Amino acid sequence: GAMAVDLMRRLREIDGDDKISKLFARRTRDLLREYKKRLAGRDEADRFRELAKIRDREGYMARPTPGGLTEHHCPIAALAKEFPLVCQYEKLLFEAALGVKVDRTQHLASGDSACVYRTKVGSR
């Protein structure tokens, strides 16, 4: 956590915020390829179940919920507090992988007890 934050600060000092955005965008593209492979051919409920499995293995203590996903832990919390853009890219990743718009109704980095994502009404 602390080392990742320090490295990102140094990257920002050297190359600016645009480089941070490009880094997160590239990471999102790479993850999206893997996520899409795992979610392909599944109905929406099963896509959320599989996404929860993926995220749980990544350390997020993720659980599927009806029409959504709840993450009870954030292994990148220190990074997210200083670089909230990472959370915006995660939301974009979920939307692209799931094929639906989602709302984040709770956010660990903002002091909530979990990150909660729900299918956005009318997003199908």
CA distance 46 to 50: 6
Listed in order, strand segments (DSSP E) in the chain are 62-65, 68-71, 102-106, 115-119
Tokens representing 72 are: 């009870």
pLDDT digits (tens, 9 = 90+) for 46-79: 999 999 999 999 999 999 999 999 999 999 999 9
Q: How many C-alpha atoms does 102 have within 13 Å on its Cβ side?
A: 27
* Residue where the block lists tokens 């880094």: 23
| Predicted pLDDT of residue 2 | 86
Is residue 122 pLDDT above 90, yes or no?
no
**pTM for this prediction:** 0.91
Is residue 1 pLDDT above 90, yes or no?
no
Is residue 121 pLDDT above 80, yes or no?
no
Is residue 118 pLDDT above 90, yes or no?
yes
Backbone angles phi, psi at 114, to 5 degrees: -165, 165
* Residue where the block lists tokens 């993720």: 62
| Predicted pLDDT of residue 124 | 54
CA quadruple 72, 108, 75, 86: dihedral positive or negative? positive
Q: Does residue 121 or residue 108 have the better pLDDT?
A: 108
Count of other CB atoms within 10 angstroms of residue 114? 19
Is residue 14 pLDDT above 90, yes or no?
yes
pLDDT digits (tens, 9 = 90+) for 76-117: 999 999 999 999 999 999 999 999 999 999 999 999 999 999
Q: Could you tell me the CA-to-CA distances from 39 to 26, 50, 69 in Å, in that order?
A: 20, 7, 14
- Encoded amino acid at 117, one letter: Y
Do residues 29 and 92 make contact, with C-beta atoms less than 8 angstroms apart?
Answer: no
